[in-house]
Amino acid sequence: MKTLIYSLVLFALILVGSACIQTGENNSAAADSLNLTISKGAHYCSPRLIQTHPGISKITYYIQFEDNCKYKLNNIDSNDINKAYGFSYGIHQNNSTRLGWNWKSDTLMLYNYAYLSKARKSKKVGNFARKKPIYVEQWYQGKDTVWISCVQGKMAKAVFVTGTGISPTGGYILYPYFGGTSVAPNTMNIKVWDVKYY
């Protein structure tokens, strides 16, 4: 029943908001930067944004993790992958791609974090610096592969995860979320800009 309600709400959002994102080569849908804050004790960022799409297959953007994205949990949740940015096909825990991140070994780690036909997949992209822009591309290849590439300065890394049964459909944009299970132990700021949808 819960899944049916989520599906109906998502369908209504897609109908109402499908005009919000126009797809196409080199189409910029977010000219201004998004300054997103995860407050201490929260999972979700603010502002809480709702943005649907009619069936994109790729996004590109710049992202920057500020100094306060460093954190320490001192428990098993230290291995959890936080979510930074991405998009879904339908409900995000069915099919979605997100740039994941956490703070491990005093370093910002980035991940390809995806759901493919309800199966969660993740793979480490690499270590990156805070307070410096990272150019990100996320895209679906065929019906079974999700790629993420990240470029910072002269360093470029890309990884893919695989699953089954993906077909582009309407969904929504996914914004920063801390966790896992634990809430943010301190306030964190993430900046996203020059977002393009394809």
As to burial, measured by CB atoms within 10 angstroms (0-12 exposed, 13-18 middle, 19+ buried), residue 59 is buried
What count of Cα atoms within 13 Å lies in the side-chain half-sphere of residue 84?
28
Distance CA 179, CA 34 (A): 20
3-state helix, strand, coil in the chain (%, to 5): 15, 50, 40
Q: Domain 2-197 adopts which CATH fold?
A: Jelly Rolls (2.60.120)
The conformation of residue 17, written as its DSSP 8-state character, comes to: H
Distance CA 151, CA 6 (A): 35
Q: Which pLDDT score, from 0 to 100, does residue 26 have?
A: 47
Distance CA 71, CA 150 (A): 22
The dihedral sign for the CA sequence 71, 75, 77, 81: positive
Distance CA 36, CA 101 (A): 15
- Break the chain into its structural domains and give their ranges: 2-197
- Structure token pair of residue 65: 């993790």
Q: Which pLDDT score, from 0 to 100, does residue 39 have?
A: 98
> Chunked in runs of 10, what are the mean pLDDT values of the chain (198 residues)?
45 42 48 89 96 96 97 90 97 96 94 96 97 97 94 96 89 96 97 97
Rounded to a whole number, what is the largest CA-CA distance in the chain? 49
Beta-carbon contacts of residue 129 (< 8 Å; ≥ 6 apart): 108, 152
The conformation of residue 5, written as its DSSP 8-state character, comes to: H
